[in-house]
Each structure stands twice: as structure tokens, then as C-alpha cells.
Amino acid sequence: MQTVTRLGDTAGIEPDTNDLEGWVVVDGNPSMKTWALHTSSDGTMASGVWECTPGTYHATYSAYEFVHMIEGRIVITPDGGTPVTVQAGDAFVVEHDFKGTWKIEEKVRKHFDFRLK
């Protein structure tokens, strides 16, 4: 059984261009691309790359996500909370019960690890 998987790049892989479940455009005309590069053998985690053009989504999470920003800038504001700005080089987590806006200010590219179950 392979216990270490090196993730490749996205070259030659067709991205999913559908908006994520629970994400609704509230400003602008953002578009996203998601490349799922690996799913854990027990089906509980997915890892990959996500890109998005400028605009704002209201996002409703149902699972935990770890993010490492490769490029871009986002202002993430929990409903009723304080805005958090993240940019290239930052790492952060979003808890499973997050609801709020993601304002993509500069085109974003990020690595993600997302808990599926």
C-alpha cells in the first residue's frame, strides 16, 4: 500500500469548472477551476488545486479545509465576523461550519486539503 503520494501539477488534467457546492456568486462574475489531484484511500480527504478569478462568493462550508495560497489575495469575512485577508504564501484553515464571503481581489491559485466525511 502506498502511504506517501507526491502530488503532480495540473498540466494535462481537465479541471472541474462548476462552482463549489454551497458557493453563490454575490458580486462580479468570478469563475473557478478545481483540480482534484488525490483522494485518500478511505475516501475521507481530497487534495488538489483551486483557481478563481476576481469576484465575491457567499460560501457555506460543511467540512474542514486546509489551504496554502500560491498566488492571489482574498478577503474572507465570516457572517457577522471580522474580515481576514490572506495572500500568496499564507496558510490557513476554514472550519466545517463556516458561512461568509470570499472576496477574491486578485486571481487566486491555492493548494487545498478538504475533509470529505
- Give the model confidence (pLDDT) of 58-76 as tens digits: 999 999 999 999 999 999 9
What CA–CA distances, in Å, run from 89 to 47, 68, 86?
A: 18, 7, 9
Domain boundary assignment for the chain: 23-115
Query: Could you give phi then psi for residue 65, rounded to 5 degrees?
Result: -135, 135
Taking a C-beta distance cutoff of 8 angstroms, is the pair 47, 111 a contact? Answer: yes
What is the rounded CA–CA span in Å between residue 95 and residue 74?
17
Question: Which one, of 59, 84, 58, 60, lies nearest residue 73 by Cα?
Answer: 84
Helix count (H) and strand count (E) of the chain? 0, 8
Q: If one looks up domain 23-115 in CATH, what number appears?
A: 2.60.120.10
Q: Computed over its alpha carbons, how large is the radius of gyration of the chain? A: 14
Size (the chain), residues: 117
pLDDT at position 10, please?
86
pLDDT at position 12, please?
84
Which residues, given as ranges, of the chain have pLDDT below 70?
Answer: 1-2
pTM for this structure? 0.91
Taking a C-beta distance cutoff of 8 angstroms, is the pair 33, 50 a contact? Answer: yes
What is the rounded CA–CA span in Å between residue 56 and residue 108?
12
